[in-house]
């Protein structure tokens, strides 16, 4: 099984009008990817590789600094910004059964924006909203149904976050047993947009139980369903487990990626969109708090 590549030209960010029949066609393609594997590559979205590279370059300059220069920017030191800031290597275990992930990250909470230009965040926001519209059409729902829940991206009552990830060179002699660059997990919110650098390692668990590679395909963005969206769609769309493997022993590469974790507005009540009661209603804020506290071991 492969992750499909869908051409998004007709609804590219540069296009101001699109025919309904084209949206229906895109909806059909997205629906089949998200029901079968939960991941899709989109090409011709309007977010350029140059724009992505620029953000990765700025991020790398930050990550390559000595720890004492990064320390003042660590997460939770910014007032009013919950998780904004730097996360050091081995701090998070996305799979709690494994040692800490061999990655560093910088969280940019969209309303606490500093290292990334506002325009860059806006293009991520706009593309996310277009994808959410097409997803609703694919499910045969009212096109705006998911958009009503994402009115405040960039505001304080929405925790959509751009995360710049840096995976430093791995010293195979120091690696702990079972340690990975990023342990097995699913994402928490509605959808995630991932831009990867050239170095591979990302794998997705397919419904048949095997991990399939999700390499960088230049010029594309990888989009996946997250847990709250799976719940919202009564499990029609799959929030697939994924992970990032270590490089082969002796390979001293570094890896970079940018993940835009889209979340609904905190006070939005998520109920199953097919009208069923498969999952009880929950506000996005309560659900995300529960999941993030779990990750940070505070449960
Ligand atoms: O680095 C990547 O390619 C993906 C990382 C990821 O899945 C995550 O941070 O949730
Ligand atoms: Fe993830």
User: By C-alpha distance, which of 163, 107, 154 is closest to 129?
Assistant: 154
**Percentage with pLDDT > 70 across the chain:** 96
User: Tokens in use for 161?
Assistant: 């976050």
pLDDT, averaged across the chain: 93
Q: Decide the pairing of beta strands 5-7 and 39-43.
A: parallel
CATH number at residue 80: 2.60.120.330
Cα separation, 215 vs 17, whole angstroms: 32
- Quick one: what percent of the chain has pLDDT higher than 90? 84
pLDDT, position 299: 39
Q: Which residues line ligand 1 (CB under 6 A)?
A: 165, 182, 187, 194, 196, 202, 242, 244, 257, 259
Residue 263: pLDDT over 90: yes
| Test site for ligand 1: of 257, 263, 295, most ligand atoms within 8 A of the Cβ | 257
pLDDT digits (tens, 9 = 90+) for 104-140: 999 988 766 655 567 888 899 999 999 999 999 999 9
Dump pLDDT digits (tens) for 144-186. Answer: 999 999 999 988 899 999 999 999 999 999 999 999 999 999 9
Contact 249, 172 (CB under 8 A): yes
Measured CA to CA, the distance from residue 265 to residue 52 in angstroms comes to 26
State the pairing for strand pair 191-196/5-7.
unpaired
Looking at the CA of residue 261, tell me the nearest atom of ligand 1: 10
List CB contacts of 45: < 8 A, sequence separation 6 or more.
Answer: 8, 12, 13, 127, 220, 221
Return the best residue to mutate from 168, 182, 193, 291 for the ligand 1 pocket (most ligand atoms within 8 A of CB). Answer: 182
Range of the domain at 76: 5-295
Question: Which is more confident, 244 or 79?
Answer: 244
User: What residues have their beta carbon closer than 5 A to ion ligand 2?
Assistant: 187
> Residue 17 Cα, ligand 2 centroid: separation in angstroms?
32
- CA distance linking residue 258 with residue 61, whole number of Å: 15
Predicted ipTM of the assembly? 0.99
- Does residue 142 register a pLDDT over 60? yes
Average pLDDT over residues 41-60: 95
Within 13 Å, how many C-alpha atoms sit on residue 243's CB side? Answer: 22
**What pLDDT, on the 0 to 100 scale, is given for residue 67?**
95
Phi, psi dihedrals of residue 7, rounded to the nearest 5°: -85, 115
Calculate how far, in angstroms, residue 230's C-alpha sits from the geometric centre of ligand 1.
18
Q: Does 64 score more than 90 pLDDT?
A: yes
Residue 270, helix vs strand vs coil: strand
The arithmetic mean of pLDDT across residues 55-72, rounded, is 95
Give the Å distance between the CA of 260 and the centre of ligand 2: 10
Q: Name the domain count of the chain.
A: 1
pTM over 0.90: yes
Per-residue confidence (pLDDT) for residue 297, from 0 to 100: 64
The answer on pLDDT for 51 being more than 60 is yes
User: What's the alpha-carbon Rg for the chain, to the nearest Å?
Assistant: 18
Residue 5 pLDDT > 60: yes
């Amino acid at each position: 099984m492969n992750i499909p590549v869908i051409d998004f030209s007709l609804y590219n960010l540069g296009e101001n009008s699109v025919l309904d029949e084209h949206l229906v066609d895109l909806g059909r393609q997205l629906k089949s990817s998200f029901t079968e594997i939960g991941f899709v590559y989109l090409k011709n979205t309007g977010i350029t590789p140059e724009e992505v590279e620029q953000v990765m370059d700025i991020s790398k300059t930050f990550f390559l600094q000595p720890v004492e220069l990064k320390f003042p920017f660590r997460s939770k030191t910014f007032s009013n910004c919950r998780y904004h800031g730097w996360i050091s290597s081995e701090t998070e275990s996305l799979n709690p059964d494994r040692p800490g992930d061999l990655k560093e990250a910088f969280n940019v909470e969209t309303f606490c924006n500093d290292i990334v230009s506002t325009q860059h965040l806006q293009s991520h926001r706009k593309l996310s909203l277009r994808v959410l519209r097409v997803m609703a059409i694919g499910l045969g729902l009212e096109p705006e149904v998911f958009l009503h829940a994402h009115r405040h991206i960039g505001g304080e009552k929405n925790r959509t976050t751009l995360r710049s990830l840096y995976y430093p060179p791995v010293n195979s002699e120091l690696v702990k047993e079972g340690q990975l660059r990023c342990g097995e997990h699913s994402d928490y919110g509605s959808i995630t947009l991932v831009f990867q650098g050239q170095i591979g390692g990302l794998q997705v668990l397919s419904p048949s139980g095997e991990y399939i590679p999700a390499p960088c395909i230049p010029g594309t963005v990888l989009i996946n369903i997250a847990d709250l969206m799976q719940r919202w769609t009564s499990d029609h769309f799959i929030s697939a487990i994924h992970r990032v493997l270590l490089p082969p022993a002796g390979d001293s590469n570094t890896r970079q990626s940018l993940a835009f974790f889209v979340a609904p507005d905190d006070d939005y009540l998520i109920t199953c969109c097919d009208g069923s009661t498969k999952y009880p209603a929950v506000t996005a804020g309560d659900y995300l708090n529960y999941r993030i506290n779990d990750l940070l071991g505070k449960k």
